[in-house]
Each structure stands twice: as C-alpha cells, then as structure tokens.
Amino acid sequence: MFRVAVVGCGGIGRARANSWKAAGAEVVCVVDLIEEKAAALAKSVGCGYTADLEALPENLDAVSVTTPPSAHYKVTKRLLERGFNVFCEKPLTLVTEQGEELDALAAKKGLTLAVGFKMRFEPIFIEAKKHIGEIGRLMHITSTKQQAYNPRPEAEWIQHTGAMYELSVHDFDLISYITGRNPVGVLYAKVSHRFGWEKEDAFAICADYGDGVTALLEGMYAVKGIFCYRDLTLTFLGDEGYMRVERPDRIVLHTSEYQVIEIPPAEKSAFVLELTHFMNAVSGREENSLTAACAVNMTRFINEAYRKGC
C-alpha cells in the first residue's frame, strides 16, 4: 500500500488525510508544530503523530505538505533533502527563485514533486479543455473570482498570503491548463487593501499571454456570501466564437451554433483524483502533470502583478 504522511493539521490537512485514505493510501503519520492539533487528526485518521518533522519515519512513499503557504518552501526543501516524494499544496512557494530551487532539487534527487492544482480534475474544466479549439484562434481571456472571507483565527494566514495566491492561483493555472499558454507579462495591475491586510484582498490584472492574446483577470474577497462552488467564471474569446465556463456545471459555447453544455456532478472528489494521479506518477504509471515548473510560472506572474499593482 502507498504510505504517506501529512505535514500540517489544519482544515486542509484534515481534508487531505481523508482524501489520501479515499484514494487507497495508508496515512502513517501526521505532523504539526501544535502537538494537540496533530494528536486530534491522528485520532480521527487512526495513525501516529509528531510535532517534529525530523521524526517522520523513513519508509514513506510520499509526504503531503498542507501547512500555510509561508512554510511550504522550508518544509518541502527539508523533505526533498531527506529523499521523500512530495505533494505540496498550492502555491509551492511565494518566491520564484525558491520554487526553481525546489524543482531543481527534486530533479537532482530523482524525486516526484507535485503541486495541488486540484481544480484541473473537476469535470467542468476537463470538458472545457476539450472544446477550446472550437473557438478558433484565441484572442482574449477573462476571469472573475469572488469568495466571502470569514474572519477567524485559523484563517489569519490568508491575510499574509493575499487573494492572488490563496484565492486565484487556481484560476491562473486553469487558464494555462485549458489553453496551453502561460502568461508572459503583466501589462497593468491594481491591488486593493480594503481590509487592512499585509497582502491584497482584491486585484485586477491586464496580462499578456503572447501571440497577441490578452487577459483581464479579477478576483476579490467579499464580506458576505456562502461557498457553493459558484465562485469562478472563465471566458475565452476566439476569432470563430467564444466559450464561457461557469463553475461548477455550465459551459456556454457560441460558434456557428449556440450550445449550453450541462456538466453532471463529479463522481469522485477532485482531491482524490489528483492524489491518485500523483501516486501513479510516483510509481511510474503516469507522467506528473502537476509539476513544480507549472507552479513557478504562477509564482513569477503573481509576484510581477503584485509589484506593478502596489
């Protein structure tokens, strides 16, 4: 059986631990600096726990990093140095050079390093990727993302991470996943600090995706709202039509005809699907598609947008 440990025992750590089990893996150990949190998750999952990263057992197939983003670099680097395959939540790092370092370290050691862009495994975005060629030559992209922010102590890390990294890095990654294009530059950016956070609570970006393709990307936290997966809309304009992707269940495709494609509910959790993909990548049955290089591209783009937007 595929043996894993989970580092970070907050809400995401709990979700990951349960998803690892649903994917058929054995959760051997959980780790958190706050020992009480580690003990609570360990009791729920039925595994060992520790507050010391160095106390992880050696005979693991991989380690899942679910700490706040500011700790991703330090934790992932140490795990790679110890010879573990690593599945790290997004964003991989908050500094471009650190992401490049981790990518190079994993390659040097022959390890699999993957980043949790789980929305790639949601049915609506898989379907959108199939249809993107039908709109002809891509000309323009828009994205709109909004979620409510519920102030609570365990979510305080978001204030130090910002809307682009915590809220919308998935959106940026999905654009690259669907179109095969990465942003090559930021033409204009504006960030907002309505809530007085260290980092932005809203942003607007005009981006260059190369070959004449431009994008308008917007995201923000709201003071009201409920999370029901209806938080993101992507629109792709081509010279033969457009495609609008409305998470989680509707694609509008307007070319020589007008279609509304209804997307049925997912049969499996996107968390479980991406972890299954990662396990297959570690075992050599699939090529890792959630690469550190993808994450580094997003980090570089977000950092440029933040610099220009301030």
Ordered by start, the domain boundaries in the chain are 3-116+271-288, 123-265
DSSP E strands, 94-231? 113-116, 138-148, 185-192, 202-208, 214-222
**Token output for 276:** 């299954």
Residue 189 CA: distances (Å) to CA of 33, 35, 89, 163, 204 = 37, 41, 26, 13, 6
Q: Mean pLDDT for each 10-residue chunk of the chain (310 residues)?
A: 97 96 98 96 96 96 97 98 98 98 98 98 98 98 95 86 97 98 98 96 98 98 91 98 98 98 95 98 98 98 97
Q: How far does Cα 32 stand from its chain's mean position?
A: 21
Distance CA 307, CA 125 (A): 30
Distance CA 272, CA 78 (A): 25
Task: Report pLDDT for 234.
Answer: 98
Distance CA 120, CA 171 (A): 10
Same fold, 3-116+271-288 and 123-265: no
Q: Return phi, psi of residue 70, to 5°.
A: -60, -20
> What's the one-letter identity of residue 189?
A
Q: 3-116+271-288 belongs to which homologous superfamily?
A: NAD(P)-binding Rossmann-like Domain (3.40.50.720)
Contact 115, 294 (CB under 8 A): yes
What is the bridge-based pairing of β-strands 214-222 and 86-89?
unpaired
Contact 159, 151 (CB under 8 A): no
Task: Report pLDDT for 225.
Answer: 86
Name the CATH code of domain 123-265 (choices 2.40.30.10, 3.40.50.1110, 3.30.360.10, 3.40.50.11540). 3.30.360.10
Q: What is the dihedral of CA 45, 50, 53, 58, to 10 degrees?
A: -70
**Token output for 11:** 């809400």
Q: Return phi, psi of residue 167, to 5°.
A: -90, -45
For residue 53, the SS3 value is helix
For residue 207, the SS3 value is strand
Distance CA 70, CA 102 (A): 14
Distance CA 12, CA 26 (A): 17
| Run of H or E including 58 | none
What's the residue count for the chain? Answer: 310
Reported pTM: 0.96
Question: Count of alpha carbons within 13 Å of 307, Cβ hemisphere only?
Answer: 10
Task: Report pLDDT for 154.
Answer: 76
